[in-house]
């Protein structure tokens, strides 16, 4: 079955602990609640796309453990084509997430089966890549696999979108083949080797990466919105108003919403705002995939930009 987007990435079980505050180094705090939620940046982004109605297939691996079965089931329920996902001996990926009362989080990822996603696996599934339009990648699988996937996909003429999370340095051979790069501030700093301290430094770092060969860059800024940069345009997108409950999967929701709209309209600016709308709903719910909105939720929600004055 061909898909509009192939996601090549990670699949994790998220162990989420809710606590008043995230502990500092050497500090112990008391947690209030612990839950298990299907996650992983790759799986979250695929689920975000599928829940909005996009045809999406996934390339990745799970372990042959109980979590592996749960993870596949969750993706299938969201509408992701999981037929290409490989189940291997050992443990599935696991993420340990602390969420505080302000909705901030800290995350430790144990890759498990995600570490086995390699060049051979990509070559086994080359026909699926040939049949798609877009290839979406993150960095929770081995970096040599990310590089191979970028170069292979570009050779096949695909549009390549990279969410460089978690942050790793990338060589110019990879960067010049990225059509749309979607980092946050920390990832932009790592990729550009520049200090990010304000909007101007974000624009400067983005322009440097454009000069290296990246085509378009969307830097997500959380409560400060997003900044788009290409060779000719710089635009700041202010955020929508929302009461933050949990920021887990907010970036994944943004990417899903953005690409769903971009596939449909080809309009980068409308698509960034649509991604912001998806993320706005996500941050008002706990969890990762369970917090991702449907198209009906987005269409029926009343959105207001932070700069707008709401009059009763």
pTM over 0.85, yes/no? yes
Question: Looking at the domain assignment, is residue 30 inside a domain?
Answer: no
Question: Looking at the domain assignment, is residue 199 inside a domain?
Answer: yes
Q: How many domains does the chain have?
A: 1
Question: Looking at the domain assignment, is residue 246 inside a domain?
Answer: yes
Question: Looking at the domain assignment, is residue 105 inside a domain?
Answer: no
Is the Cβ–Cβ distance between 210 and 172 less than 8 Å? no
Q: What is the pLDDT of residue 306?
A: 67
Which pair of tokens denotes residue 48? 């975000």
Question: Looking at the domain assignment, is residue 33 inside a domain?
Answer: no
Q: What is the pLDDT of residue 2?
A: 78
Q: What is the pLDDT of residue 309?
A: 42
Q: What is the pLDDT of residue 122?
A: 97
Q: What is the pLDDT of residue 311?
A: 40
Which CATH number does the domain housing residue 84 bear?
3.40.1190.20
Note down the domain range covering 44. 5-11+39-91+114-300
Which pair of tokens denotes residue 41? 């940046």
* Placement of tokens 């990822």 in the chain: 109
Question: Looking at the domain assignment, is residue 188 inside a domain?
Answer: yes
Question: Looking at the domain assignment, is residue 57 inside a domain?
Answer: yes
- Block means of pLDDT (10 residues each) for the chain, length 312 residues? 91 93 92 91 96 97 97 96 97 93 86 97 97 97 97 97 93 95 96 94 97 97 94 95 85 97 97 96 85 91 68 40
Task: Report the interhelical angle of 66-78 vs 41-51 (nearest 10°).
Answer: 30
- What is the rounded distance in angstroms from the CA atom of residue 36 to the CA atom of residue 30? 18
Question: Looking at the domain assignment, is residue 49 inside a domain?
Answer: yes
Catalytic residues: 252
Is the Cβ–Cβ distance between 110 and 95 less than 8 Å? yes
* Sheet-wide strand order for 12-19: 31-39, 12-19, 93-99, 105-110
């Amino acid at each position: 079955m061909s898909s509009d987007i192939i996601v090549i990435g990670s699949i994790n079980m998220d162990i989420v602990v809710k606590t008043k505050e995230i502990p500092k180094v050497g500090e112990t705090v008391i947690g209030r609640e612990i839950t298990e939620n299907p996650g992983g940046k790759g799986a979250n982004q695929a689920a975000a796309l599928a829940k909005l109605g996009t045809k999406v297939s996934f390339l990745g691996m799970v372990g042959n453990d109980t979590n592996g079965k749960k993870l596949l089931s969750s993706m299938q329920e969201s509408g992701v084509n999981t037929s290409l996902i490989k189940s291997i001996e050992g443990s599935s990926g696991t993420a340990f997430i602390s969420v505080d009362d302000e909705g901030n989080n800290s995350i430790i990822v144990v890759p498990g089966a995600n570490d086995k996603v390699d060049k051979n696996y990509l070559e086994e599934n080359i026909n699926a890549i040939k049949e798609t339009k877009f290839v979406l990648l993150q960095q929770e699988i081995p970096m040599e696999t990310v590089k191979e996937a970028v170069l292979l996909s570009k050779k096949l003429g695909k549009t390549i979108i990279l969410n460089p999370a978690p942050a790793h340095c990338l060589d110019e051979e990879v960067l010049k083949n990225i059509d749309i790069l979607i980092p946050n501030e920390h990832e932009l700093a790592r990729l550009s080797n520049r200090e990010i301290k304000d909007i101007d430094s974000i624009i400067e770092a983005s322009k440097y990466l454009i000069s290296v060969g990246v085509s378009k860059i969307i830097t997500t800024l959380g409560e400060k919105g997003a900044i788009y940069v290409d060779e000719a345009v710089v635009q700041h997108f202010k955020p929508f108003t929302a009461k933050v409950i949990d920021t887990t999967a907010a970036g994944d929701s943004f990417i899903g919403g953005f690409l769903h709209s971009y596939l449909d309209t080809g309009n980068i600016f409308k698509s960034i705002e649509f991604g912001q709308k998806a993320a706005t709903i996500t941050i008002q719910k706990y969890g990762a995939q369970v917090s991702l909105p449907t198209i009906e939720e987005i269409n029926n929600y009343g959105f207001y930009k932070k700069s707008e004055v709401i009059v009763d």
